Structure 1
């Protein structure tokens, strides 16, 4: 997956009853704390979890629905874990997911804000894992901000770009491709976006202390495994071939039986764009 996939939404962790990503697996990796559901919860909740994955990762089979929900939702309100993101808003899904969740009829309430009619907990169709980046940014802005008009700087923006804009962070964009944090030079083909200040939606305010990594609290590292060719199933250690992406967590994880995690692709993780290359991936795809 290269930067041209930026803005596409993915189901990063499947829920109970969904077609499994691989036999015995729902999308979670063993962490630096070791195996087991409690360690997965702690690693997902931590701002800087321990461990480094090198060129291999070990799969952590099983759904672990409640533990995944509790750990991932440390970024949002209502969690017993500390350190929130500076903006806890849930964002609309891509059309493929909105269509499948509205027709499934078996969602659950989760534990948090909806803000835009998307609770972050409704079930998606078992065969849908990717969207196309076609979320309704204009409708979202109209429903969640005093101004009905989406700012020109956010025309056809990704959810991650809207999130950064809402908390008043400067970023560079080329379509849905994003550079954040920025450097002194704007990359070729990119435009620098500098909001006049924070403009949080009503449901975006945190109920606790904000994490030390600020806006990046909602960015996670995802290892891309070759599930078919490497015969990924159950617990095992598998090569990553250096393939990782950064993903923006678009909404809270729902509660059991689903605990699905939805993310929007930011771009590939490389030694050039991240000091955390190979460090602490917790989700597989």
Structure 2
């Protein structure tokens, strides 16, 4: 089996981030970001949401990209520099109580980063606090577990062959949960979008490499023995191998995006 020697941040940037481009575009569209605004990207990962937001705010605007892992920020900043994004400020920090003033941002986004927050409800409440009245907060995460085949099958195989229970990569993902968090945090005009978004990939081996780059799982999966990893990959071949058509494999994913508006006091 090929040994993956690249860093978790580079693995995420190369494998997971490109597969979430469509999701990030939807988040940006729902946020209503305009030129000259100040935007928070909470849990920027390797900068995908921040890049798209920066293209909206232009030279007169600012995007603050927050992430708890300096290595991910370093990869994001290097990619931003190469692409010519100069309106992004990179900041390391936990996704809990945010170190920003009240109403510091016109809008806030978080693209598939709830699993990085120790308490997702705290992050949602803080996004409301740091966003101006009538500003928009948009959060995306994986949808219902049954709609994410990769999640179900990898969890099952790792538990069966390695005796390991993996952390959830999708807190508040079941229908209604994220909406309830937004309601409890006091948002107005809450809108939820759930939709299928297949992972389009070349092979079962590529699925396994993609899964190992998912942030909430990367450390646990890197710690599996070679024997367990081989058996997990065999399990994935049994589940998905027969689906390859024309060099492409489709694996079920479901996306959840929730939008809320900060109320007027």
TM over 0.5: no
More helix by share: 2
Higher-RCO chain (CA-CA 8 Å, sequence separation at least 6) = 1
Q: What's the TM-score once normalised by structure 2's chain length?
A: 0.31
More strand by share: 2
